């Protein structure tokens, strides 16, 4: 059974929202086709305010299944009734609820701040403008087992070192975002 995705938000080349588009138009199955530029969010959740130990999630039955990825991430959805795209803040809260706090409220002590935004330059067929957030929260988490197999805190430097010898353990997105994040410090 194929998953039904809500419309997501097209981005212009400045990263501003333009309007809705179907998921499959942004992510064509044929990798020789170019996808339509669109908006996404990611968040790094750290164990404490030293910002060294990052919560990574092992992907469930979704793209990148079985690989370690950023704490939370996903597309910015188009709200059909309101004829607008979610804000990055609305989208990251929705993703937190879907992935790490399934059927629960986001804990009040988890505060997020936007730390970087820009175009992801990994795959030529997949143009995504990312808003990256960070926050501090040591747990507990209530995982959506369809999307997330497991979570654990890992040292940022360990991830980068381990990814050089075990690249199939991690998503390319995670490594890309860690490097972008470190460049902002």
User: What does the pLDDT look like over 70-112, one tens digit per residue?
Assistant: 999 999 999 999 999 999 999 999 999 999 999 899 999 999 9
Domain presence at residue 18: yes
Domain presence at residue 72: yes
Domain with 180, as residue range(s), is 8-184
- In total, how many domains does the chain have? 1
Domain presence at residue 2: no
Task: Report the alpha-carbon distance of residue 168 to residue 115 in Å, rounded.
Answer: 27
- pLDDT band of 3, cuts 50, 70, 90: low
Domain presence at residue 89: yes
Task: Report the alpha-carbon distance of residue 22 to residue 39 in Å, rounded.
Answer: 12
Domain presence at residue 1: no
Averaged confidence pLDDT in the chain: 91
Q: Which residue has the higher pLDDT, 2 or 171?
A: 171
For residue 25, what is the domain's CATH number?
3.90.79.10
Domain presence at residue 53: yes
Domain presence at residue 71: yes
Domain presence at residue 19: yes
pLDDT in tens, 122-149: 776 678 999 999 999 999 999 988 889 9
Taking Cα atoms as reference points, which of 41, 51, 46, 174 lies closest to residue 109?
46
């Amino acid at each position: 059974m194929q998953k039904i995705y809500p419309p997501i938000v097209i981005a212009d080349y400045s990263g501003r929202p333009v309007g809705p588009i179907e998921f499959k138009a942004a992510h064509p199955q044929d990798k020789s086709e170019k996808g339509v530029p669109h908006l996404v969010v990611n968040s790094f959740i750290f164990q404490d305010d030293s910002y060294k130990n990052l919560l990574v999630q092992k992907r469930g039955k979704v793209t990148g299944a079985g690989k370690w990825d950023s704490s939370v991430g996903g597309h910015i959805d188009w709200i059909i009734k309101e004829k607008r795209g979610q804000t990055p803040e609305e989208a990251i809260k929705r993703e937190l609820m879907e992935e790490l706090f399934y059927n629960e409220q986001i804990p009040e002590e988890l505060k997020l701040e936007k730390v970087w935004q820009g175009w992801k330059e990994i795959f030529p067929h997949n143009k995504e403008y990312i808003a990256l957030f960070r926050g501090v929260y040591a747990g507990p988490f209530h995982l959506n087992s369809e999307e997330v197999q497991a979570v654990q805190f890992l040292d940022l430097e360990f991830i980068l070192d381990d990814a050089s010898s075990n690249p199939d353990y991690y998503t390319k997105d995670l490594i890309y975002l860690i490097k972008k994040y470190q460049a902002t410090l």
